[in-house]
Structure 1
Amino acid sequence: MAENENGSEKTEEATPDKLRKSKDKGQVARSKELATASVLIAAALSIFIFGDRLAYELSIMMKRAFTFERADIFSPEQMWHALVDGFSGLGMPMFFILLMLFIISILGSSLLGGMIFSTKAMMPKFSRMSPKAGFKRMFGMQAWVELLKSILKVAVVICGAWAILAATFEHILHLSVSQLPGSAFEALDMLRWMFLLLCLSLLIIVAVDVPYQIYKHSDELKMTKQEVKDEYRNSEGKPEVKQRIRQLQYEMSQRTMMQDVPDADVIVTNPTHYSVALKYDKEGDRPPYVVAKGVDFMALKIREVGRENEIPVMQSPQLCRAVYHTTEIGEDVPEELFIAIAKILAYIYQLEQFRKGKSGRPKALPTEIPVPEGFIYPN
């Protein structure tokens, strides 16, 4: 188990932030075996695709090189033309073979870990010049793993070559009694198949190396519990700072809320612990909604501002608690509470008409307006 300098075990998986930072530094999982196998298999396939054309151009060049007249010997220009003609024919198939190898070499290296351009990875590291670090690399666990992979590669290639030779042994013996040039072409075709099969055998090494490199990279990036906490603290901010920010945000919201209390139509109280200020747009289609709410000191402050602005204050403990616990500031009250609130709004309207001398005194509301069973909250 990997340990840090303080002896704490690195048991936690790397966080997304650490993965991002390691990627910026060019530290990603890489498999040299995958890149090598990709290039070799691409080379074998390119021989299958462009090999016939390449062999044809080579035969023309050899024929031209060994077939010449007496005048060609004494003419430097003729020899130069023969050389140019010979290599110009080889140029096209060689270009496509090299282009295919170039593309596959890039793709093979980036199949695991992706394609990354990092200037940090190119910077010289003086720690690599340390004899102690070099000694650790030579005799460390990674060196033994590389040695084991090399032995496995040799074993796989030897076993693969032995299996291929055993399967084609009779065919090889048959070539010795075949006539030219057919035997030569048959031998070349057999060789390219052997080369392709040997390259494909390296996929066994790739199947072992790729999961190991992924595991090794993940293990190297593991973090201690303290490192995870520190990173979270640095990314999210210190708890005391976040608490102060939340406190300031709460104070700002409270000040804004108190500015809306004078616009309320009624304030419903507990009467001591809770207060909710409600507003109802008589001309609009919106149902009653909460403009302010609070408990304890804030509840008293809402009632105080309401009295200063002559807002009716009604006592209905169950209804007040129901609205407080189910509705946030600016939200419409639940439909289940419409009937209870409508009774209060109707009473306030009748009371206003009575004060204006337009109607008689309304009947006083009970101190406890009933609410649905699912909206009853303890004091």
Structure 2
Amino acid sequence: MSDDKPEQSEKTEDPSQKRLEDAHKKGDVVKSQEVTTWFMILGSALIFAFVAPMTSAQIMTSLGDYLGRADLYEVGGPGFNQFVYGATISLLSALLIPMILLALCGIAGNMVQHRMVFSAENLKPKFSKVSPLAGAKRLFSSEALVNFGKGLFKLVVFSTIMVLVVWPDRDRLSTIMTADPVVTLELFQEIGIKIFIATLIAITIVALLDYIYMRHKWWQRQMMTVKEVRDEYKQMEGDPHVKGRIRQIRMERSRKRMMAAVPDATVVVTNPTHFAVALKYDKDMAAPEVLAKGVDAVALRIRGLARDHDIPIVENPPLARALYAGAEVGETIPAEHFKAVAQIIGYVMRLKNRSSWRSGN
């Protein structure tokens, strides 16, 4: 067993998000060649069914024009070079759209399996690529056996498809040499479309099974040992950027919970512009509890929430500063502030009772 490559039996932990991201950066992604082949065959079928007739007509027209004036070009003369150049340009321009469609299908075949990746990792020279021992291991590996099975299966299936599709039209194909060229092209297109459809149905099954297999192999390759999980966690915990981000997330979540509790407050004690402390008290509590506190922008938000929910706001700068410095959110206020806070809460209670009495009358 190698020190830097643990045995698969030791990899018992699912890969972390960092492990998956690192694999993607190195170009180690899920990739089934059969899926790409499926898209290429689909693109070829579309080209054969819809683009090929127009492309063939364009090539025949262009070459017909040149061949019709072939006697005007002297072999070896400057005019002959112009003839070859023009015929080549006409041929390439007619094939441009099919080539672009096939390229797009090849890109789509990769994009459906994984997001875009740019990596030079696979371009780096590796001894294992030229090592006879490593080559022998790859040759007799389970993956090579699977690839051999896939190739054999496709050969059998596609041969069967060719026989089943072509055999019913064997009589028509026997007269192809004497048939009109237009009829011949139509026959070829009809049989070709049948072959493409049957092939797509077969390759769909192959591509689906191969993708599942390749994803399973890739996932196994990314799995981690317990030691790797611990080492990665220690590395991330030691990263000051990660620690700072974690601390920031915790503070944001704590602030959200704190702000969500402000509507339950009994009173908000403030220094008019800098401090705000939201307190809650009812007869079942031993002492008032601090629901939220803040300075400057946070204090402004606390006061705004208090106004939105009709919570009394009492200005008492010394008490607000003392509560902010000496009491934590979720805890009861220090005993030395009981009297001052009791007076404020009593005042708030009297205001509520007076408002209730007035509304009742």
Partner of 1:342: 346
Partner of 1:181: 181
Q: CA deviation at 1:168?
A: 3.6
Q: CA deviation at 1:210?
A: 1.0
Higher helix share goes to which structure? 2
Per the normalisation by structure 2, the TM-score is 0.61
CA distance in 2, matches of 1:70, 1:168: 41
Partner of 1:270: none
Q: CA deviation at 1:237?
A: 4.4
Deviation track 1:215-236 (CA, whole Å, cap 9, x = no partner) reads 1111111112332233223223
Of 299, 302, 312, which residue of structure 2 is paired with 1:285? Answer: 312
Partner of 1:12: 13
Specify the code of the residue in structure 2 equivalent to 1:135: A
Partner of 1:54: 55
Deviation track 1:133-163 (CA, whole Å, cap 9, x = no partner) reads 2221111111111111111111221122122
Farther off after superposition, 15-24 or 60-69: 60-69
CA distance in 2, matches of 1:81, 1:7: 64
Look at both structures and tell me which one has the larger radius of gyration over its CA atoms: 1
Farther off after superposition, 164-173 or 154-163: 164-173
Specify the code of the residue in structure 1 equivalent to 2:211: V
CA distance in 1, matches of 2:108, 2:25: 20
Q: Do the aligned partners of 2:59 and 2:94 also contact (CA within 8 Å) in 1? A: no
Q: CA RMSD in A?
A: 4.5
Aligned length: 279
CA distance in 2, matches of 1:7, 1:189: 51
Specify the code of the residue in structure 2 equivalent to 1:51: A
Written as runs of structure 1 = structure 2, the 5 A alignment for 1:1-379 is 5=6, 9-60=10-61, 63-64=64-65, 67=68, 72=73, 76-169=77-170, 171-172=172-173, 175-176=175-176, 179-197=179-197, 199-200=199-200, 201-237=202-238, 285-286=312-313, 291=324, 292-293=326-327, 306=336, 342=346
Deviation track 1:311-367 (CA, whole Å, cap 9, x = no partner) reads 6779xxxxxxxxxxxxxxxxxx9xxxx899539x99xxxxxxxxxxxxxxxxxxxxx
CA distance in 1, matches of 2:62, 2:9: 69
Per the normalisation by structure 1, the TM-score is 0.59
Q: Do the aligned partners of 2:48 and 2:193 also contact (CA within 8 Å) in 1? A: no
CA gap of 1:293–1:36, structure 2 versus 1, over 3 A, is: same
Q: Do the aligned partners of 2:128 and 2:135 also contact (CA within 8 Å) in 1? A: no
Q: Which runs of 5+ in 2 are unaligned?
A: 248-270, 272-276, 278-285, 291-310, 351-361
CA distance in 1, matches of 2:198, 2:338: 92
The 3-state SS of whatever aligns with 2:224 is coil
The 3-state SS of whatever aligns with 2:212 is helix
Specify the code of the residue in structure 1 equivalent to 2:214: Q
CA gap of 1:84–1:113, structure 2 versus 1, over 3 A, is: same
The 3-state SS of whatever aligns with 1:202 is helix
State, as a whole percentage, how many aligned pairs show the same letter: 21
Specify the code of the residue in structure 2 equivalent to 1:186: E
Q: Which runs of 5+ in 1 are unaligned?
A: 247-259, 265-273, 279-283, 315-332, 347-379
Deviation track 1:41-81 (CA, whole Å, cap 9, x = no partner) reads 31332233331233223434554566558665579355445
CA distance in 2, matches of 1:128, 1:179: 54
User: Which protein has greater RCO, CA pairs closer than 8 Å, 6+ apart?
Assistant: 2
Q: CA deviation at 1:102?
A: 2.1
CA gap of 1:29–1:76, structure 2 versus 1, over 3 A, is: same
The 3-state SS of whatever aligns with 2:149 is helix
CA distance in 2, matches of 1:53, 1:6: 57
Farther off after superposition, 63-72 or 189-198: 63-72
Q: Do the aligned partners of 1:65 and 1:82 also contact (CA within 8 Å) in 2? A: yes
